[in-house]
Structure 1
Amino acid sequence: MIHSVHLFVYPRPSMKAPKEALDKAIPKAYTPADVEKRIYDMWMKENCFSPRKTSTGKTFSIVMPPPNVTGNLHLGHAMVMSVQDSLIRHHRMLGDETVWVPGTDHAGIATQLVVENHLRQQGKSRKDFTREGFLVKTWEWVETYKKNITDQLKSLGASADWSRERFTFDPEFNAVVNKVFVDLYNKGLIYKDDYIVNWCSETQTVLSDLEVVATPEESKLYYIRYFVKAADKSVIVATTRPETLLGDVAVAVHPSDKRYKEFIDKTLILPIMNREIRVIADERVDMEFGTGAVKITPGHDPLDYEIGRDHNLQVISVIGKDGKMNKNAGKYAGLEVEQARKNIIEYLDNIGNLEDIEDTVSNVKRCDRTKAIVEPLVSKQWFVKATALAPEVMKAVEAGKTDFIPDRFRKEFSNWMEGMRDWCISRQLWWGHRIPAYYKGNEMIVSENHPTEEGWLQDEDVLDTWFSSALWPFVVFGWPDKTEDMKKFFPTTVLETGRDILFFWVSRMMMMSMALTGEVPFYHVYLDGLVRDEKNQKMSKSKGNGMDPAELQNAYGTDATRLMLLLGTTPGNDLVVSRQKAESYRNFVNKLWNASRFIRMQGEETMPYRELEAYLEKNYAKLNIAQKWILSRFAHVSQAVTEGYATYRMGESGTVLYEATWNEFCDWYIEISKIEVNEHTQAVLQYGMMTLLKLWHPMAPFVTEEIWATYDQEELIINSSWPTIPAKFINDEIEEDFRILIEVVRGIRNVRHERSVAPGKLIPVHFVADVKKDLLVQFEEVLKKLAKLSTMEIHKGRPIIGRKVALIVYPFEIYLPLDDMIDVEAEKARLTKWIAEKEKERRIIQSKLDNKGFIANAPDDVKAAQEKKKQEVEAVLTTMKQQLADIE
């Protein structure tokens, strides 16, 4: 037994403690701040998070998507970590050998930007430092925030194996990154070449396509006349970027466009520059855009670059890396782009080349981080030949080696992979894995290590952050060495991450893993949606609607915060959160604590969980209907929760568990147990509570561990086994009978409320029961107590009792003789409304039964259930209509 752990800070009760001792030992209120750190430290001390060899022989592995070391965790991180931790804890309890590898990402451009901003607040800039000096400052930032992130993850309850914690820029990781770069280069899968790239003048670096956001913005469409050389003819082109006209090398038309047949291969005079350019034909021209004739500027447009390359056209860049017009812009050199545009338009108008200006909306490309306008520029950069790697990934996905949850993202992923361009991996930054290429004069070598000879200079650029992140799933297990961890835990079981980085990260991990290991990196990809506020707006710093998970944890407790992020979620869909939700889940945690305290206070002895289960199995025949009902519900709910984890729909099955805990166990069974007390009551209560604690533990680990300790079990709940309720406990008939009884009580309570019957006043009730009379007899005392009844009479036919309120709970008719409390007109209105609702329900059922597709495809048991439901609704309608006729 693990009593030496001292789970309680208050005196620990023994298994046979008297009630007085229990009352002092177990606090009347649950206070998360007094519990969470103590429990987490205890889990760490007991080494609960490391993989354990188990009897199942199965493994379950997850690599944590490493948070960026740019600051503190946000609510999206908290959701991802909560989902992963619930999966890990569940599989640990199932008996699988489970590992969750934690870590953080160096986040190249993101970290450099925040460090530069930090320096700016001190009146300094990156240019005030040498490269080495700036890296020292960055490492200071990283070490601080890396620890903060780790501490936050632990505070959320992350049961990761911290002995395996990694950083994507630690020395060992850097060595592997260099090796991969060199290996891929030697295989021709990494190359350096001129290409048109996305250039951010603010960060002074290349961006990948995924780091660029195109947003619709109001702009102008300019119609400019290009004259044919030595002829009285012209071609009018439309453009939103007249400033790039200075770099035009051709005008293109579609070969099928009859309007321009005579112009193909003609020579035009480029306005302002007076340079001769040709009219070319290319099928990539959109005949519907503008006039159907487009200017070709390979130096500043990706499509123009492709067309120019195919037609062997010159590349002229007129905008520099500083975002200003360069020397190729002639008299406009040195101007900001906007000013150059204004001046060029004025000049074209003056010389008669400006035909028209229209208002339009165009997609403006901006840096996802800085929001600065991104300029397409031709530059010499390093690339991964993604077009060569993508086909193997596509084959693996098509073969079902990796699936997507939800499945709709498989198609989205496939479409992206099919259209993928080569991946630009060089970044003009200081922070990151420096490219292992070295130069000496005109020579270049690519090597894992710096050349020993003098005179070699390393490439100034660093690798895109996603290059090292793409290696994460296998490097953390010791690759490229053939370690035991690689054999056991790779490929990993599931990658759980946000859908917003499906292409940033997931696609690149798939490519790198297939290329380097020959395996997919994970069998399942579980994609979360976004976290939104109560107005359904995406949370962001700019909107000021973000919620700090640490603040929520302090206010409502970690378990409540986790439940807010887990319950009701569905894969791939956005989650709406609010403080009201967090507060409601804090109330639920308190409900769980109070219910457990009540149960523990009823009995002076506890038994090990499995012994309790065996006791109830042995004495099952002696249990009353309520006890059998709750055991059957536990069996079904346990099955639903288990299935939820197996299909990655934990949020939905968690909602089922919530309803079963609050409504069925706490609100109904515990109340009934106070009325029907027998020698088995305490056993059922304790078994029920401990079963719920096990089912809740993956989602609400702290409160469940704390409550579990009050039952003095032989092991911590984190190390306990997942509940597998005996099949003997399942009884669908009793569940249906009990559902009817609950509806009876609810119906009578509603009438009492509507008629303002005093809470303490007992009222009589009459039942008409052609069937299930024994159920009412057996449950009579409980019904009286719960519904506050004075007498309860059961009839075969409708009783003559004067003025009454009628209820129908199939198969019973219920009559409450409330005499002067009855308003005849109100009762007629109530019955009329009720009949209308039931008529609508009947029509819906009938419509389904009339549907040929439903009849042809639905399982027999589903069709039978609909038929039965129809019969019940029709029986209720008949009775209600008779009651209405009696009143009238």
Structure 2
Amino acid sequence: MRQSRQREKSLSQRSGIPSEIPKTYNPEGVEGRLYREWEEAGLFDADPDPEREPYCIVVPPPNVTGALHMGHALNNTIQDTLVRRARMKGFEALWLPGMDHASIALQNVVERKLQREEGKTRFDVGREAFLEKCQEFADESRKTILSQMRRMGASLDWRRLRFTMDEGYVEAVNEAFIRLYDEGLIYKGNRITNWCPKDRSAISDLEVNYESADGKLYGLRYRFSDGKGPGPDGESFAEVFSTRPETMLGDVALVVNPDDERYTELVGRRVTVPFVEREIEVFADSYVDPEFGNGVLKVTPAHDPNDFEIGERMGLEPVNVLNPDGTINENGARFAGMSREEARKAVVAALDSEGLLGEVRDHTFRIGKCDRCGTVIEPWLSEQWWVSMKPLAERAIESLERGEITVYPDSWRRETVRWLSNIHDWNVSRQLWWGHRIPVWYGPNGETVASKESPGEGYEQDPDILDTWFSSGLWPFATLGWPEETPDLDYFYPTSLLSTAREIMYLWVARMIMNGLHFRGEVPFRKVNVHSIVLAEDGTKMSKSKGNTIDPLDLFDEYGTDAVRFGLLYQSSTQDFAYSYERAQMGRAFVTKLWNAMRFIATGVFEGDGEASVSDRWIESAFNRCARDYDALLEECEFSEAMRRVYDFAWHEFADWYIEIAKTSPSSETSDVLRRVFIGILKLLHPVMPFATEEMARTLGASEYLMRQPMPVYDPALDDAEAERVLAATKAAVGAVRAFRNEANVSGELEGLLPDGVEADVFSKLAGVRVVERIGASRAALPAGDAVVEVALSEELRRGEISRLEKEVSRVAGEVSRAEKKLANEKFVERAPEPVVAAEREKLRANTALLETLRTRLEEYL
């Protein structure tokens, strides 16, 4: 005994365990201190190392428009977990930080600020001064975001911080544009775009939010130019139904379906567009839906994408009636200068006054709104720069179909292939100021030159900028030094994994795949994890306007960063989830449970004799399997299941059972086993809960950072099926006695027989049963899995046991009856998988045997 105490004392002294360990874990006093230590020690740094296998994740760059949100908290936790795990598995692991200039988003923020504080627009202050204000805002926002990422515990290599407006990145963007231009994959053309009148810029199809709106369907009448009616009814006009009557000012034709017999005589006639007095012809085109309105369609190529295609087929010249700010231009006759809304009312009133307004119906339709400012989008014909996407998409489709990129879940791989298969050319020019200026120059004699620098005197640069997604689409390789052939690019590309939300699978992920293959000849990443979206508590999408957003920093303050990180991963799956504060509480309770276990291990004295016990072998075997399962789940991005696996082992198997066994039935090896398994648990959890686990390891005397220690590796030699079987039986037996005590309100020691196949000392001490050779007829038979635990009863307990057994007989008899009926069903036996049928048969066998035992015991009491 004395030798055991001396051994524990000397172990504490050697490991540097503090004599006074706080009773509770204090995240506020730990997190900032540890993060500074890690960063100063260079633990996050990664450089090409031919002796190590690379592992690289480039962070999806947050927009420099404000604070991080819960989606960032989840995704950063996912990435940090995987990168920290990779470091501990021996990879040269790089998590590369960066931020996106977010042209339209930041410009909107700065313009609102300018209007609010100075009452001016960007046009009032001019391009140069406005860009200075954008840069100032971006710089301040960057500081905020970087401090928040550090607060989250993000182990980013801060030496490599990239920004999409940095000089080197601008070089990469210009290089990509010029290469595509020289290859004939970028061209300038007049096409219909989604135009935001407030931003005065084109935006992507994917940046338009569609919603239902209640409006009107107006009957618009066009008089026949020859003054004659179309038929025996003598009507002198053709009628068309439209939701946007103001666009009739730009009409260049009417069309009907060639198979619509109502309008056979109408084809070839000419009508006059009201107010602008433009004569237009009636054509036949199969695009027209005879069921919509009255089956006659007006063609306005400058203001509708479908009309544009009809006009292209028929060689019709478009007429644009809108200014960039959405007001009616000079082609709108008396309505020039009016806003779209004003013009709609005025056109309807004018039609009515001239007898040209037909039926007006209530109508529900879809309208598109700008994702950034909420303005109703106008389909508008304008000259833009376009990328030919089909040649780029073909290689990406092949790559995805060959499995060169693994996507979790795989349904998003299939969806991305579908989108790429139906891709259209991409409008990449934006009529904004904040962003990458298009590297195209126009010469004094009409020359057009794509160049990073001015070709010479008299050349003017294109005023437009590039869509933000054009620059961010280069992210995985431009951040590593492309277009230069750098050692970083050679070593870390292709990157290992990208983690992102599904909302930008098309905007960003698909484009990175195309660009990676086109510019580097390889996919940009080997895996893509599409994570769930964190919703508000009521299950709706978080929105500042709704006031239902949750600030992750507030959660870190209240629960501790580790607790929030663990809770987020515990909830994360392929399905969106409503954020639960209970999971943060659960994470905090988990940290507390581990802290208490650490204090017990650090300060406890375990006096035991003999070699390793069955319990010692069991916990090492169970931990070995936990490490295997946990690592495999993280490899497959099954974060929720991974958290459940390690939580169940650490809380229930280790803390609830093994520590209790260590207190009552230690062997001479228990102290070492306790410490070894607990340190293993800390290592498994360190990528998820870095602060608390580091502090606990340090308290236990660790001389090296956990991040520099190896992740536990599954060892088949540690599997001990016999020890696990014995402990399973022992836990079931102890649980049966404890349940009996609770139900019968029994305290104090019981006498009982030793069940078969259990660890005797553990059973006796944890169940509070004095094992004897024989007991009288008055006994309780307690089901414990496939076994039965028998304990002696007093007369009072005998009567209570009769009642309990009667209930148990009824329950088990019901299970037997259910299984018999199920197995008597021929369809079930024939159609169900064999393992399912076999499991039912095993349940029937076990319950039949148990029922016989219970009935026998009941008869003995009666």
| Structure 2 equivalent of residue 783 of structure 1 | 763
Contact kept, 8 Å, 2:302 with 2:320, in 1: the verdict is yes
SS of 2:118's equivalent in the other structure is coil
| Structure 2 equivalent of residue 174 of structure 1 | 170
| Structure 1 equivalent of residue 695 of structure 2 | 706
Paired residue for 1:812, among 777, 780, 788? 788
Deviation per CA, 1:554-584: give whole Å up to 9, x if none: 11111111111112422x3213323222122
Contact kept, 8 Å, 1:102 with 1:160, in 2: the verdict is yes
Instruction: Please say which of residues 133-142 and 553-562 is displaced more in the overlay.
Output: 133-142
Q: AA paired with 1:187?
A: E
| CA distance in 1: counterparts of 2:50 and 2:477, whole angstroms | 26
| Structure 2 equivalent of residue 152 of structure 1 | 148
Q: Label 1:15 to 1:555 Cα distance change in 2 as closer, same or farther (>3 A).
A: farther
Instruction: Please say which of residues 175-184 and 124-133 is displaced more in the overlay.
Output: 124-133
| CA distance in 2: counterparts of 1:692 and 1:399, whole angstroms | 38
Contact kept, 8 Å, 1:842 with 1:873, in 2: the verdict is no
| CA distance in 2: counterparts of 1:408 and 1:702, whole angstroms | 35
Paired residue for 1:201, among 167, 177, 197? 197
Contact kept, 8 Å, 1:55 with 1:95, in 2: the verdict is no
| CA distance in 1: counterparts of 2:347 and 2:376, whole angstroms | 20
SS of 1:284's equivalent in the other structure is coil
Is 1:29 matched with 2:24?
yes
Instruction: Please say which of residues 92-101 and 679-688 is displaced more in the overlay.
Output: 92-101
Q: Label 1:194 to 1:253 Cα distance change in 2 as closer, same or farther (>3 A).
A: same
Is 1:558 matched with 2:558?
no
Deviation per CA, 1:516-550: give whole Å up to 9, x if none: 12221112111112101332222221221211111
Deviation per CA, 1:788-824: give whole Å up to 9, x if none: 44666778xxx7327x685453222556747546667
The offset of 1:336, in angstroms, is: 2.6
The offset of 1:828, in angstroms, is: 4.6
Q: Label 1:817 to 1:172 Cα distance change in 2 as closer, same or farther (>3 A).
A: same
Matched residues, number? 845
| Structure 2 equivalent of residue 7 of structure 1 | none
SS of 2:666's equivalent in the other structure is coil
The offset of 1:883, in angstroms, is: 6.6
Q: AA paired with 1:139?
A: Q
Contact kept, 8 Å, 1:23 with 1:601, in 2: the verdict is no
| Structure 2 equivalent of residue 231 of structure 1 | 229
| Structure 1 equivalent of residue 293 of structure 2 | 290
Paired residue for 1:212, among 195, 208, 212? 208
SS of 1:622's equivalent in the other structure is coil
Q: Label 1:729 to 1:251 Cα distance change in 2 as closer, same or farther (>3 A).
A: same
The offset of 1:738, in angstroms, is: 2.3
Instruction: Please say which of residues 143-152 and 573-582 is displaced more in the overlay.
Output: 573-582
| CA distance in 2: counterparts of 1:172 and 1:573, whole angstroms | 38
TM-score, length-normalised on structure 1? 0.88
Q: Label 1:674 to 1:130 Cα distance change in 2 as closer, same or farther (>3 A).
A: same
| CA distance in 2: counterparts of 1:297 and 1:245, whole angstroms | 7
SS of 1:555's equivalent in the other structure is helix
SS of 1:775's equivalent in the other structure is coil
SS of 1:263's equivalent in the other structure is coil
The offset of 1:743, in angstroms, is: 3.0
| Structure 2 equivalent of residue 69 of structure 1 | 64
Alignment of 1:681-830 (within 5 A): 681-757=670-746, 761-762=747-748, 764=750, 773-776=755-758, 778-779=759-760, 781-789=761-769, 800-801=777-778, 807=783, 809-812=785-788, 817=793, 819-820=795-796, 828=806
| CA distance in 1: counterparts of 2:387 and 2:497, whole angstroms | 26
The offset of 1:107, in angstroms, is: 0.9
Contact kept, 8 Å, 2:169 with 2:478, in 1: the verdict is yes
Instruction: Please say which of residues 223-232 and 129-138 is displaced more in the overlay.
Output: 223-232
| Structure 2 equivalent of residue 601 of structure 1 | 603
Instruction: Please say which of residues 119-128 and 672-681 is displaced more in the overlay.
Output: 119-128
Contact kept, 8 Å, 1:565 with 1:575, in 2: the verdict is no
Contact kept, 8 Å, 1:532 with 1:539, in 2: the verdict is yes
Q: Label 1:23 to 1:389 Cα distance change in 2 as closer, same or farther (>3 A).
A: closer
Is 1:677 matched with 2:655?
no
SS of 1:210's equivalent in the other structure is helix
Alignment of 1:259-278 (within 5 A): 259-278=262-281
Is 1:49 matched with 2:35?
no
Deviation per CA, 1:288-311: give whole Å up to 9, x if none: 433333222111111111111121
| CA distance in 1: counterparts of 2:778 and 2:606, whole angstroms | 49
* RMSD of equivalent CA atoms: 3.1
Is 1:135 matched with 2:170?
no
Paired residue for 1:92, among 63, 66, 87? 87
SS of 1:99's equivalent in the other structure is strand
Contact kept, 8 Å, 2:216 with 2:361, in 1: the verdict is yes
Instruction: Please say which of residues 66-75 and 45-54 is displaced more in the overlay.
Output: 45-54
| CA distance in 2: counterparts of 1:806 and 1:14, whole angstroms | 42
| CA distance in 2: counterparts of 1:848 and 1:495, whole angstroms | 49
Q: AA paired with 2:763?
A: L
The offset of 1:396, in angstroms, is: 1.4
Deviation per CA, 1:333-391: give whole Å up to 9, x if none: 22232232233333434444444233232111001111110111111111111233211
Q: AA paired with 1:775?
A: G
| CA distance in 2: counterparts of 1:660 and 1:455, whole angstroms | 73
Deviation per CA, 1:379-436: give whole Å up to 9, x if none: 1111111233211211211222223210001221112112221111111111111111
Alignment of 1:291-690 (within 5 A): 291-441=294-444, 443-451=446-454, 453-570=456-573, 572-602=574-604, 622-690=611-679
| CA distance in 1: counterparts of 2:611 and 2:205, whole angstroms | 69
| CA distance in 2: counterparts of 1:729 and 1:887, whole angstroms | 46
| Structure 2 runs not aligned, ≥5 long | 1-7, 232-236
| CA distance in 1: counterparts of 2:436 and 2:9, whole angstroms | 57
| CA distance in 2: counterparts of 1:395 and 1:723, whole angstroms | 38
Contact kept, 8 Å, 1:182 with 1:446, in 2: the verdict is no
Contact kept, 8 Å, 2:829 with 2:837, in 1: the verdict is no
Paired residue for 1:118, among 86, 89, 113? 113
| CA distance in 2: counterparts of 1:96 and 1:294, whole angstroms | 63
SS of 1:454's equivalent in the other structure is coil
Q: AA paired with 2:336?
A: A
| Structure 2 equivalent of residue 872 of structure 1 | 846
Q: AA paired with 1:371?
A: G
The offset of 1:200, in angstroms, is: 0.9
SS of 1:277's equivalent in the other structure is strand
SS of 2:757's equivalent in the other structure is helix
| CA distance in 2: counterparts of 1:242 and 1:604, whole angstroms | 87
| CA distance in 1: counterparts of 2:772 and 2:765, whole angstroms | 11
Q: Label 1:439 to 1:558 Cα distance change in 2 as closer, same or farther (>3 A).
A: same
Q: AA paired with 2:699?
A: T
SS of 1:196's equivalent in the other structure is strand
| Structure 1 equivalent of residue 4 of structure 2 | none
| CA distance in 1: counterparts of 2:33 and 2:785, whole angstroms | 50
SS of 1:812's equivalent in the other structure is strand
Q: Percent identity?
A: 37
Q: Label 1:493 to 1:353 Cα distance change in 2 as closer, same or farther (>3 A).
A: same
| CA distance in 2: counterparts of 1:232 and 1:261, whole angstroms | 10
| Structure 2 equivalent of residue 616 of structure 1 | none
TM-score, length-normalised on structure 2? 0.91
SS of 2:23's equivalent in the other structure is coil
Contact kept, 8 Å, 1:244 with 1:318, in 2: the verdict is yes
Instruction: Please say which of residues 180-189 and 707-716 is displaced more in the overlay.
Output: 707-716
| CA distance in 1: counterparts of 2:334 and 2:794, whole angstroms | 97
SS of 1:434's equivalent in the other structure is coil
Q: AA paired with 2:750?
A: P
Contact kept, 8 Å, 2:443 with 2:458, in 1: the verdict is yes
Contact kept, 8 Å, 2:53 with 2:92, in 1: the verdict is yes
Instruction: Please say which of residues 409-418 and 435-444 is displaced more in the overlay.
Output: 435-444
Contact kept, 8 Å, 1:764 with 1:792, in 2: the verdict is no
